[in-house]
């Protein structure tokens, strides 16, 4: 699974997070899912952890992805590949979903990913 969920604040992205948590809980494997974010503040808001603190998982959900630049995402994928031992797959073959509002502030360093997307 690979999913991109975008929209401005208040559109229900966090409702999707809760549904994923409920799904993994129903499967009896809540430890296979981690809600993550690029900053501690956002991670706290969603009841998750920072992307830097999780690597041993099966499904990665990254909120506020637009706080990251393209190099950050490439580096994250590389680290996950090394951790999973699957260098020929994006993010080490993990199921992953990235969420965020592309119209928010750009990342603190580097160019926004929006400059790499052609509409």
- The 10s digit of each residue's pLDDT in 38-91 is 777 777 887 887 776 555 567 778 888 877 877 888 888 888 787 777 778 888
Q: How many domains does the chain have?
A: 1
Is residue 89 a part of any domain in this protein?
yes
- The overall average pLDDT reported for the chain is 76
Q: Is 71 contained in some domain?
A: yes
pLDDT at 27 over 80: yes
Q: What is the pTM of this model?
A: 0.54
Q: Domain containing 57: what range? A: 2-103
Residue 8, domain member (yes or no): yes
In a domain, 18, yes or no: yes
**Would you say residue 61 lies in a domain?**
yes
Concatenate the DSSP letters of all residues of the chain into one string. -EEEEE--TTSSHHHHHHHHHHHHHHHT-GGGEEEEESSHHHHHHTT-EEGGG--S-SEEEES-GGGSBHHHHHHHHHHHHHHHT-TTSGGGG-EEEEEE-TTSPPPSSS-BGGGG---
Distance in angstroms (rounded) separating the CA atoms of residues 75 and 71: 6
CATH number of 73's domain: 3.40.50.300
Residue 114 lies in a domain: no
């Amino acid at each position: 699974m690979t999913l991109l969920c975008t929209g401005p604040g208040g559109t229900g992205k966090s409702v999707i997070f809760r549904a994923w948590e409920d799904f993994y809980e129903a499967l009896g494997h809540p430890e296979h899912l981690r809600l993550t974010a690029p900053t501690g503040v956002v991670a706290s808001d969603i009841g998750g952890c920072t992307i830097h603190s999780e690597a041993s998982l099966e499904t990665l959900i990254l909120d506020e992805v637009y706080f990251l630049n393209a190099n950050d995402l490439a580096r994250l994928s590389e680290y996950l590949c090394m951790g999973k031992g699957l260098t020929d797959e994006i993010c080490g073959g993990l199921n992953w979903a990235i969420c965020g509002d592309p119209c928010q502030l750009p990342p603190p360093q580097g160019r926004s990913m929006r400059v790499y997307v052609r509409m």
